[in-house]
Every structure is written in C-alpha cells, then in structure tokens.
Amino acid sequence: MNVKTIGVIASGGDSSGMNAALRAVVRMAVNNNFKVKGIYGGYQGLIEDNIKEFSSRDVSGIIHEGGVIIFSGRSDDFKSYDGRCKAVENMKKHSIDALVVIGGDGSFKGLSILINEHKIIGIGIPGTIDNDLYGTDWTIGFDTAVNVAVEAIDRLRDTATSHDRLFIVEVMGRSAGYIALYSGLASGSEAILIPETPTDLDRVCKILQEGKLKGKRSSIIVVAEGDESGGAFSIADKIKNKTGWDTRVSVLGHIQRGGRPTAFDRIIASRMGVAAVKSIMEGKNNVMVGIINDQIVYTPLQDAIEKKKNPNPSYLETAEILSQ
C-alpha cells in the first residue's frame, strides 16, 4: 500500500511524554513528505470525525508539556463493529492510509482488531505509566510517574520521621507493580508490595519490628493498588493490629499521570515516534515500537498485548536487603 497520509491517535490513560511522541511522529512524517492528521479524543474522535491536518509548527513548544494536545480517552462506541466501521469511513474520508496509536494494551487491542477487520496499516507506540507492555524495556510516562512518586515518598519520609510513624503509600498499578517497585527502591522503602509476587504481611511486620529495635523512627511501605493483600487502608489496619505501629495512609492517585515529562521520557518518546514513521516507510504493519537494551525493536501487537512482562525479582531482593 502506498502510504501518503498518517493519522495519529492518543488513546486510553494519558502519560507524560505523549506530546513528545506526537511531535516526533508529525515532524518525522512531514520531513518525509507525508501528510499527518491529528485525531482528537482517541478512537471516539475518529468515530466523530474530530480530525485536523497537522504541520510541524502545530507541534512546536509541546515537548515539555504533560498530557497530550490531541487529548486522550476511551471509547465504548469503538468496541462495536458498527463503531469501528464508522472510524474506517472517516479514515477514508481524510485519506488516512496508516494509523499510529500512542497508548497501552487496551488501545493496542482496539488497533489490532481494526487491522484484522479492515486491513488497515497500524503501528503502536507504548504510552502508559504502568511499564507493563511486553516488547519494550520502557513505556512513555513511566519514568515521570516514578519520579513523582519518589518525590512524594521523600516528603512523607520527613513527616514520618518527625512523628515516629509508619506510612503506607499507595501508587498506581492495578495489575503491574513497576511504579511501586522502582519508587520503593529509589526511596529506601522498608517494604514493597506488588501484584506480581505473593505478599507475606507477617514477613513485612517482622521487618518493621526489627527496624524499630534498631532505632528506626520511621518506616515506609509502598504498595501497588492491585496488590492481592488489599489497598493501602486495608494493609494499614492489618499491620497496625499486628504491630501497634502508628500508621498513616497516603494514596498518590492520578497525580502520577501529570506534570512535565522527565528528560528520559522525552527522549524515548522522541525515538519511538521517529521509529513509528520509519516502520511505515519500511512496510511494517501490526507492530508496536519498543526499546530493548537501548535499541529500537518491533514486536507484533498480539505479542505486546498477550505476553506477560514480569519485573526483575532482584529489585525486590535488593530493596529488602537495604531496608535493614
């Protein structure tokens, strides 16, 4: 297929660095004589024909901004066959030959269905704070989310020490514990609880008690929201009942999604955006752009969606050793 026009969508939850990826897609495409159509509001915007042609100047001054200027979102209409047919009609109306989707696994499931049903060209760019997609070491927004969490935990450590308290800090991650793992290790937390590993609260309590006997005046536990032992409030109650610790809970929530992207997120987003357009030029289709061992790689969308990416267990081991 002779591609002349590329459409670009941000879908699902936003993540800092999506603007940098959008900027890279637009400028790489324009520099190689493609037209680019920005689709506002995710797949719903494609269904509702909320589409605008972009020039290089339209993406000036956005690389440092959080969120995404074409807006992101989820679409119930796109889950239906009729909704997807309407989306493809609008692609044809705007002469869009290929679609670049910045998003996570749900967004890629939608793209994969669209490719298989309507034989379009589609490329995925991993934009999710969870860092849970198979086929890439890093996803756009993860590093920023971790740094936001670490700053918050550092501040909580100050007040925990002042009052001889235990803080349970809940970070985002319904099915993936990467934010908890990285922010917990970086902030010197006493325990890290994630969905990918079984949680032994008796072991956690033992670590806390041993720390107290050694003269620790504060302790921090970082828990991913999807940990099987329950949310932060439930865990706080259980630990308080077992140890008598004066506990406090802090749920960081959506603050982790926003803010200016870190330099790292801007860099990987820029590299992935350029690589997405390159992949179209090279005739690739139905793949996700990723970075593994600092090299651009392409993974079939189905693998990125279905295969499991597990955290490195040595991170938990290191965190426990250093918590003593």
Active site positions, annotated: 130
How many Cα atoms are found within 13 Å in the side-chain-facing hemisphere of 196?
18
CA atoms of 147 and 125, how far apart (whole Å): 22
CA atoms of 318 and 224, how far apart (whole Å): 18
CA atoms of 151 and 262, how far apart (whole Å): 13
Q: Using the structure block, give the residue that is written with the tokens 């493609």.
A: 34
Q: Name residues whose C-beta falls within 8 Å of residue 240's C-beta, 6 or more positions apart in sequence.
A: 246, 247
How many Cα atoms are found within 13 Å in the side-chain-facing hemisphere of 122?
25
- What are 76's two structure tokens? 């119930």
In 3-state terms the chain splits into helix, strand, coil percentages (rounded to 5) of 45, 20, 35
Q: What interhelical angle do 201-213 and 232-243 show, nearest 10?
A: 60
